[in-house]
Amino acid sequence: MKEDTRAGRWAIPYHYECLNGRVDTLLARQADVIRDCRVLDLASHMGTFAYAALQLGARHVHGVDTEAALLRKGEDLFGRMQVPRDAYVFEEKDVFEFLEACQPDSFDTILCFGLLYYVMEPFRLLQLMARAAQRCVLLDTFTARYAALQGKDALQYYPHVSDEALDLPILLTSLTRSEKKDYRLPNTFDYQGKELALTSFPSRALLEIWFQVLGLNFTLLEWRDYIQKPCHWRDLWTPEQKKAAHWADVYASEVRVSYRLTPPGV
Ligand SMILES: C[S@@+](CC[C@H](N)C(=O)[O-])C[C@H]1O[C@@H](n2cnc3c(N)ncnc32)[C@H](O)[C@@H]1O
């Protein structure tokens, strides 16, 4: 990676240190469910994690995203890196449309990074992934705590949000601009001349109830090798705090969490 397409964003930018940390935690340390596996990368963006999965020995990767320009960029990067043409597919499709058409156990491992909060039916997405994955779903997502931090004026808008409330099994939904720096969210609507979409942020408690309901065994992935200091979500409230944050602060504060999910009997 030579460029950071999301420079200036405070949470999970494509800075190489963050990217390497994510590849290490989310993929390299899960190599047993990557090596020799058929991997589906949902919201594959420009193919960064699909590429890393191939480097770690995946047999085949299938990237799915709605943003055609990012898929083309991925194809171009894979071509330049001389990745064998039969080792990957990039497909322009909504993840629901894709998964609904999938046979059960079509893939060994599904990557769901930076996507669950962009869909209006996160439980349904988990359900469809559990059906399509034979061995594992790797999940990396923002939680309800992120909803309390959004925007420059978060401190002013959400002063009464408490830890107790955010620890309940709740789902917070908020509006977001559909036009992002390098992609546009599907399922948008117009409100007062602005193109908006909905984001959904389940609390960690709700996520873990959903996993149990779906019969998925879950392990919370550890970021301790990257976390520099303890961080509470309120330490990320103001623009100044966000600017001063280390990339791993979102994991230290559980504003973002990642899980390894396995179907029963695996
Ligand atoms: C925050 S980026 C995540 C990229 C990468 N997986 C990561 O974790 O860094 C979100 C990606 O999701 C894609 N996306 C959002 N909603 C989608 C949907 N319903 N179906 C397919 N792709 C979607 C966007 O186009 C964008 O590439």
Nearest CA to ligand 1 atom 9: 114
Tell me the C-alpha to C-alpha distance, in Å, between residue 115 and each of 22, 143, 165, 186, 193. 15, 12, 24, 12, 26
Is 2 domain-assigned? Answer: no
Is 172 domain-assigned? Answer: yes
Closest atom of ligand 1 to CA, residue 119? 19
Residue to probe by mutation, ligand 1, list 64, 115, 146, most atoms within 8 Å of CB: 115
Pairing outcome for strands 38-42 and 107-113: parallel
- Using one digit for the tens of pLDDT, what is the confidence trace for 116-125? 999 999 999 9
| DSSP state for residue 25 in the 8-state scheme | I
How confident is residue 158, by pLDDT bands cut at 50, 70 and 90? Answer: confident
Residue to probe by mutation, ligand 1, list 25, 26, 93, 118, most atoms within 8 Å of CB: 118
Residue to probe by mutation, ligand 1, list 6, 65, 251, most atoms within 8 Å of CB: 65
In this prediction, residue 24 carries a pLDDT of 98
How confident is residue 197, by pLDDT bands cut at 50, 70 and 90? Answer: very high
| Mean pLDDT value across residues 39-48 | 97
In this prediction, residue 264 carries a pLDDT of 80
Indicate if the pLDDT at residue 157 is higher than 70: yes
For residue 139, the enclosing domain spans: 16-262
Is 183 domain-assigned? Answer: yes
Is 10 domain-assigned? Answer: no
| Mean pLDDT value across residues 31-59 | 98
| Mean pLDDT value across residues 195-218 | 97
The C-alpha angle 126, 129, 131, rounded to 5 degrees, equals 110
Is 11 domain-assigned? Answer: no
Backbone phi, psi, residue 162, to 5°: -110, 160
Is 178 domain-assigned? Answer: yes
The C-alpha angle 216, 230, 14, rounded to 5 degrees, equals 70
Is 35 domain-assigned? Answer: yes
Nearest CA to ligand 1 atom 22: 65
In this prediction, residue 123 carries a pLDDT of 98
How many folded domains does the chain comprise? 1
Pocket of ligand 1 (CB under 6 A): 43, 45, 49, 64-67, 70, 94-95, 113-115, 118-119, 183, 185-186
Closest atom of ligand 1 to CA, residue 64? 21
Listed range (7-21, 42-56, 206-220, 228-242) with the worst mean pLDDT? 7-21
Is 222 domain-assigned? Answer: yes
In this prediction, residue 15 carries a pLDDT of 83
| Mean pLDDT value across residues 235-254 | 94
- Using one digit for the tens of pLDDT, what is the confidence trace for 177-192? 999 989 999 999 999 9
Task: Provide the CATH number for the domain around residue 234.
Answer: 3.40.50.150
| Mean pLDDT value across residues 225-245 | 94
What is the pTM for the complete model shown?
A: 0.96
| Mean pLDDT value across residues 173-177 | 93
Whole-number mean pLDDT of the chain?
94
In this prediction, residue 2 carries a pLDDT of 61
